[in-house]
Chains A and B, each alone.
Chain A
Amino acid sequence: MKLFRSALFLFTIIFSLSVSAGDLGSKLTNLFTFQDASSADEVLHPDVAFRISADVYSNKQLILNWVIEPDYYLYKDKFSVQSNSPVITIGNINYPAGKAKEDPLFGQVEAYYGQNNVLIPFENTEPTLKEFNLDVGYQGCKEDSICYPPIKKTLTVLIPESFDSSSKISVVTQAPLISEQDAITQTLKDKNLLVNILSFFVFGLLLALTPCVFPMIPILSGIIVGEGVRITRSRAIMLSLSYVVAMALTYAALGIIAGLFSLNLQAASQNVWVLSLFSGVFVLLALSMFGFYELQLPSSWQTSLSASQDETDRGTLKGAAIMGVLSAIIVGPCVAPPLAGALLYISQTGDALLGGLALFAMGLGFGVPLLIIGATSGELLPRAGAWMESIKQLFGVIMLGVAIWFLERVLPESIVLILWAALFITTAIFIGALDRVKDTTTRWQRLWKGLGLVMLVYGVVLIVAAASGGGTVLKPFNKHSSAISTATLPFHYVSNLKELDQQLQQAKRDGKSVMLDFYADWCVVCKEMETYTFNDPTVQKMLQQVTLLKIDVTKNNDDDKEFLKHFDLFGPPAILFFNKDSVEIKSHRLVGFIKADVFVKHVTQAISQ
């Protein structure tokens, strides 16, 4: 019953926390980002608020596309399209349904928000015609603010020579250079099975030297420490092994799946649900580290288990194995570019067996340092002792940190900072930051108090940083909200292949190179690119001559999947370059984080191709 009660207590806390967080979040963000009440004066130029383009879709159809900024809208019934060429006749236009708006004067009117397009039938009596002009009229407003006078625009529409070949996105098949992703694929493809598996193992070892392995250390240590006082070295090794093998098996499963289907693994592993779930699990684990409850088998089981040592092993090994599986998914995104290469390779071979074996080997390689850590920490741990509780609590704090780290991708910065601050301050108080120093206070206690005070002050600094609008836990005053960073490069968003095609055609006509950025809200590398690389003045200057396109695959809908499939990508991050003829320069694909100076060189090389 005690267990049940404490769990119920936790349930209430976590549930109310995670649900009320939504409300709290909006309140906090409203608090911190004072919206200027008299922002009515801040209106966009109509050409920015409404972007309209027209293209030939087939020899009988035009496509008119419009992109409307958030909060702005266009009236459906104010749209007009007229040809100002005598040889072009425009047919009846079937406008898409808009959002119904109740107007006290005109009754119900339909308004367009966001992005849309309409197919317009046309007749051309002059087959050799290369281009013609289209007069487009439209009218709209900013919600509860201003309305624009009726707008007239003349759009020049080019008629492509052939509709079959030129309207498709062309991709060079022969690449003179090999991109990062391709290089991995290439190396792996040329080898036989054994060499393959070995190279995957070494590959995993190399991966283990990246910081990607860090989140796993507290997890594994937590498992071993959480096991209790009677842990032996061999048991610690067994636990680590179980953890590592389970992790490797997870990668193997990914390999097999990649061999069978093409899936966006990253999207799955950075899914909000998955992240929130993991975060919750870590909070629970942490709380057990603090002794709120014991994550252990019931005493009746324990007695029966102590009779047969085997069963004890099995039970706990299973726990370690489950964490191993979860961890594999957790660090997946961190190792995205190499993993993408490996999985791309496997999906190209279509060999599920090879995929499974190779990725299993990679997982084992990745787990070697974890095995070492598991073995040594098992040795370091004493049979019993009061200070073991402190270690457990330390791991509890680290686990809470990991929980917050997960949420960093889901929650706004200011809230993440406050969570960090709460963690720092609470920890500080627990280690005695506010305890009074007496004569009897030992040196150790004084040292802890000192450290505690530092943490306390840092926690307060984080709250101040959160209140002033953001930053990260390591650079609290380094603001880089997504609004600021996206504002720096004028990306044009495309949402399906057709639009991309139009944009590429446009760039081709303008003689411009194209940079195509695959983005998703959950893609950490994408955000890093935005914050660190795209914000760099030299990068911005260099990209002035380049058409910048962006595809947001956060939703991972059918159009998004089609995009990824079309370009043989597993998911963001990915940056593709197209030359002035709108042909992709496959050799210069980027699938990971790249610093500004390297990026500049890379792009210069790409667009000079």
Chain B
Amino acid sequence: MKRWQMIIIVSALALFSGVGGYQLQQYLKSDKNSEMGIVVQNPIAPKSVIGTKVEDFSLSDVNGELRSLSEWQGKVIAINFWATWCPPCREEIPAFIELQQQYSSEGLQFIGIALQQAEEVRGFIEEFNVNYPSLVGGDDVIKAANRLGNDIGALPYTVIIDRSGKISFTRRGPLSKSEAESVIQALL
């Protein structure tokens, strides 16, 4: 009888190690797939524009009025490129609203630039109570983004400009409140 016990136990063991191994393999597969992903290309970093002086540009705001960057000259300007169809952009905007609230008296000016038409963003701006100007546009927005160092026009893209008009920070992708705050505080 013991022989049968042995056989049963050995097969159970083998089965379980097999199951374990299989699960492990399946588990690792997700990682592996992304590693083995079709062609792993060099990531493209945005071209550096840090330290360069910003050229003035004009875009229309949600009310159709043409606004120029020079309007806010002398302030610390944080330009945030976004769109309503860009989930990571929408997620960071509440933090920018808070920062604008907190530091506007010290000379901070956030400017939202949406890669969209005015009517597409108006609802969002009202709903979220965006407390800073929002500029809109299509190709001209992409051009502005390119000039500010965002060569592929990916969103979100945030540029922080010091009081003298020099670019001191850029971020393609989400920007956390704390990081933005530390950059802004240093410039104010």
Decide whether A and B assemble into one complex. yes
Q: Report A's interface with B, CB cutoff 8 A.
A: 3-4, 7-8, 10-11, 14-15, 17-19, 21-22, 25-26, 29, 40-46, 48, 67, 69-71, 75, 78, 103-106, 139, 141, 144-149, 272-273, 275-277, 279-281, 283-284, 295, 297-298, 301, 407, 410-412, 481-483, 486-487, 490-493, 521
A-B contact pairs, 24 of them (CB 8 A): A7-B5, A7-B13, A8-B9, A15-B13, A15-B17, A15-B20, A17-B17, A25-B27, A40-B173, A40-B174, A42-B45, A69-B38, A103-B87, A145-B88, A147-B86, A147-B89, A147-B156, A148-B154, A276-B21, A277-B17, A277-B21, A280-B14, A284-B14, A301-B3
Which residues in window 12-69 of B have CB below 8 A to A? 12-25, 27-28, 31-41, 43-46
- Is B77 in the interface zone, CB < 8 Å from A? no
Other 15 A-B pairs with CB < 8 A, given A7-B5, A297-B3? A15-B20, A18-B16, A19-B20, A43-B152, A145-B174, A147-B154, A148-B154, A272-B21, A275-B21, A283-B17, A284-B14, A410-B21, A482-B35, A486-B35, A491-B39
Chain B residues within 8 Å of A149, by CB: 115, 142, 153-155
Q: How many A-B residue pairs have CB under 8 A?
A: 197
Chain B residues within 8 Å of A481, by CB: 35
B2–A284 contact, CB under 8 A?
Answer: no
Chain B residues within 8 Å of A10, by CB: 13
Contact of B13 among A41, A67, A146, A284 (CB under 8 A): A284
Nearest neighbor of A485 in chain B, beta-carbon distance = B36
A275 to chain B, nearest CB (A): 7
A141–B2 contact, CB under 8 A?
Answer: no
Chain B residues within 8 Å of A21, by CB: 20-21, 24
B173–A273 contact, CB under 8 A?
Answer: no
Chain B residues within 8 Å of A482, by CB: 32, 35-36
A257 to chain B, nearest CB (A): 23
Chain B residues within 8 Å of A280, by CB: 13-14, 16-18, 21
Chain B residues within 8 Å of A148, by CB: 152-155
Chain A residues within 8 Å of B25, by CB: 272, 276, 410
Chain A residues within 8 Å of B89, by CB: 147
B129 to chain A, nearest CB (A): 15
Give the CA-CA distance A11 to B14 in the complex, in Å. Answer: 9
- Is B188 in the interface zone, CB < 8 Å from A? no
Nearest neighbor of B21 in chain A, beta-carbon distance = A276
B37–A407 contact, CB under 8 A?
Answer: no
Chain A residues within 8 Å of B174, by CB: 40, 144-145
A11–B13 contact, CB under 8 A?
Answer: yes
Give the CA-CA distance A22 to B30 in the complex, in Å. Answer: 12
Give the CA-CA distance A493 to B33 in the complex, in Å. Answer: 12
A273–B21 contact, CB under 8 A?
Answer: yes
Chain B residues within 8 Å of A103, by CB: 87
A70–B33 contact, CB under 8 A?
Answer: yes
Q: State whether A18 and B24 are in contact (beta carbons under 8 Å apart), knowing that A146-B88, A146-B154, A298-B2 are contacts in the complex.
A: yes
Give the CA-CA distance A277 to B17 in the complex, in Å. Answer: 6
Give the CA-CA distance A10 to B10 in the complex, in Å. Answer: 10
Contact of B9 among A7, A18, A277 (CB under 8 A): A7
A3–B2 contact, CB under 8 A?
Answer: yes
B16–A487 contact, CB under 8 A?
Answer: no
In the A-B complex, the 7 residue pairs with the smallest Cβ-Cβ separation, listed nearest first, are A40-B173, A276-B21, A18-B20, A280-B17, A42-B43, A147-B86, A22-B24
B21–A18 contact, CB under 8 A?
Answer: yes
Nearest neighbor of A104 in chain B, beta-carbon distance = B90
Chain A residues within 8 Å of B3, by CB: 297-298, 301
Chain B residues within 8 Å of A8, by CB: 9
Nearest neighbor of A109 in chain B, beta-carbon distance = B85
| A-contact bits for B106-118, CB 8 A (1 contact / 0 none) | 0000000001000
B5–A279 contact, CB under 8 A?
Answer: no
Give the CA-CA distance A43 to B153 in the complex, in Å. Answer: 11
Chain B residues within 8 Å of A70, by CB: 33-34, 37
B95 to chain A, nearest CB (A): 15
A61 to chain B, nearest CB (A): 26
Nearest neighbor of A6 in chain B, beta-carbon distance = B9
A483–B124 contact, CB under 8 A?
Answer: no
B74 to chain A, nearest CB (A): 29
Which residues in window 115-152 of B have CB below 8 A to A? 115, 124, 142, 152
Nearest neighbor of B145 in chain A, beta-carbon distance = A149
Chain A residues within 8 Å of B159, by CB: none
Interface centre among A145, A276, A491 (most CB of B within 10 A): A276
